Amino acid sequence: MRRRFFVGRFEGGAAVLRGEAAHHLGRVLRAEQGQLYELSDGESVWLARTQGVGRDAIEFALIERLPALPAPLRITLLLAIVKFDRFEWAIEKATELGADEIVPLAAERSEKGLVAASMKRAARWEKILMESAQQSRRLRVPVLHDAARPRDSFRAADAQVRFLLSERAGAKPMRDLLEPAAAAVRDGEPVNLAIAIGPEGGWTDAEFAAGLGCGFAETALGANILRTETAVCAALAAAQYAFGAVRQPDKLAGSGAEVNEGTA
């Protein structure tokens, strides 16, 4: 499987990879001239061949544009801030599972010290999203928003389908809400989906009221109480399954293109 990297832009049949990604490709993976990789600028994907490998930049010549079909759904994840090791694991997996936007939430039951320190973690979180998007061969890196209060994020959510994960009795199973939502968009139109996941201890009554008042449906993933990061994986995997996201066929499979399988 070819590795994918993100570049700033394509220009004149060429592209340049810079920064930590260039260092990783050149120094860690030991890229050599003539090897093939996939490059994305967030809008299109190209097969490219290395032309020059430098210390801080790697130059590519573009060979062929690759298919990049639109996803059947666009996911906004509203995720309560929890202990950073668990939060970072969650956003990494959310990227692999197709989240397009991630909004850290300063929920009432989020630890105040973590909320206060979250601004200093933004650069690290951006790096995690970039690396995870490259590893999972995504078209673009998810957008990371500034931390916000749940009520503000609920109000700002631009989505036709909105779920508020809940551990309360009476919450509808997510399956019962996903199936009709997916059936309504089988004509090929993508759907915007917002999923809000709370902290340890769950949402407060005021947060439930705010979410429900903004059109979020209270829903549950099952009988068990899940940790925040577990709920992220379960909810996004269920959404991808319901909306039928599939891997695109490799247009170049069997094309005879020469690839150094050791590093490309």
In a domain, 260, yes or no: no
- Is 109 in the same domain as 237? yes
Q: Is the pLDDT of residue 221 over 90?
A: yes
Q: Please give the C-alpha separations between residue 195 and each of 26, 94, 153, 165, in angstroms, as whole numbers.
A: 38, 11, 11, 7
- Is 126 in the same domain as 54? no
* Per-residue model confidence (pLDDT) at position 260: 34
- Is 142 in the same domain as 236? yes
More confident residue, 208 or 2: 208
Q: What is the CATH number of the domain that holds 21?
A: 2.40.240.20
- Is 79 in the same domain as 179? yes
- Is 47 in the same domain as 155? no
Residue 99, CA atoms < 13 Å, CB-side half-sphere: 30
- Is 36 in the same domain as 143? no
Give the model confidence (pLDDT) of 106-148 as tens digits: 999 999 999 999 989 999 999 999 999 999 999 999 999 999 9
Domain count of the fold of the chain = 2
In a domain, 138, yes or no: yes
What whole-number percentage of the chain has pLDDT above 90?
A: 69
Run of H or E including 2: none
Report helix, strand or coil for 163.
strand
* Per-residue model confidence (pLDDT) at position 248: 47
- Is 97 in the same domain as 180? yes
Q: Which is it for the CA torsion 206, 230, 240, 182, positive or negative?
A: negative
- Is 142 in the same domain as 78? yes
Mean pLDDT, residues 89-111 taken together: 97
- Is 211 in the same domain as 103? yes
Contacts (Cβ under 8 Å, ≥6 apart) of 220 = 165, 166, 167, 171, 172, 173, 174
- Is 14 in the same domain as 107? no
Q: How far apart are CA 140 and CA 124, in angstroms?
A: 18
Q: What is the CATH number of the domain that holds 125?
A: 3.40.1280.10
- Which residues span the domain enclosing 45? 4-66
Q: Is the pLDDT of residue 186 over 60?
A: no
* Per-residue model confidence (pLDDT) at position 256: 34
- Is 29 in the same domain as 96? no
Q: Is the pLDDT of residue 149 over 70?
A: yes
Give the model confidence (pLDDT) of 13-61 as tens digits: 999 998 888 887 877 778 888 899 999 999 999 999 999 888 789 999 9
